[in-house]
Amino acid sequence: MILEVLGSAALGLVLAFAAAHRLPHRLPPRPLVFATAVAGALFGDFVTHSALGPAPVLLTLLGAAVVSAASLSLLLRPAGRLRRRSAPA
């Protein structure tokens, strides 16, 4: 179980590094990205392990990766500036 948690945290770090390397202009500061990815991976591991019980480790790591990626996607900012025009009267 300890290795499962450590694997999930490592998976979160890998996803955070990949996101911070690929999309640095669309993400907040790196410490927030890394913390969010690791917390999302640990939470995803917890939820998957709670739902499936003693399932194979690959399934719980998959759940951790999905929740971590979803958490990182919530941090993304729009690519360009949005121009908002007022509605015609």
Stronger pLDDT, 51 or 80, i.e. the higher one: 51
Burial class (CB in 10 A: 0-12, 13-18, 19+), 89: exposed
For the record, the structure tokens of 4 come out as 């499962």
Only one residue has tokens 């908002």, namely 84
| pLDDT at position 55 over 70 | yes
| pLDDT at position 79 over 90 | no
